[in-house]
Amino acid sequence: MEIPKKFKAPNEWKVGYQSFALKAKTLEEYRPFDQSCSLASKLFDPILKGQAGNKKWNPDTLAWK
């Protein structure tokens, strides 16, 4: 299996995401599927591209530091 270079959520996830986000008490800002995918990309893309290095994810700033 080839590791992707960027995060891409399967379209099938979109169907149940809204219900899941409400039950999980996801921040309102990330309840829309596209917004949550954008955040996931910020987290995963640097890892998938080998750019995270020794950086750590900062959950307060939502960025690698």
Buried b (16+ CB within 10 A) or exposed e, 26-64: beeeebebeebbebeeeebbbeeeeeeeeeeeeeeeeeb
Note down the domain range covering 24: 17-51
Please tell me the total count of domains within the chain: 1
What is the pLDDT, as a whole number, of residue 32? 94
13-65 pLDDT, tens digit each: 999 998 999 999 888 999 999 999 999 999 999 999 999 999 999 999 999 99
What is the pLDDT, as a whole number, of residue 25? 85
What is the pLDDT, as a whole number, of residue 27? 86
What is the pLDDT, as a whole number, of residue 6? 97
Residue 5 lies in a domain: no
What is the pLDDT, as a whole number, of residue 54? 96
Residue 33 lies in a domain: yes
Residue 4 lies in a domain: no
Say what the pTM is: 0.84
Backbone angles phi, psi at 64, to 5 degrees: -80, 135
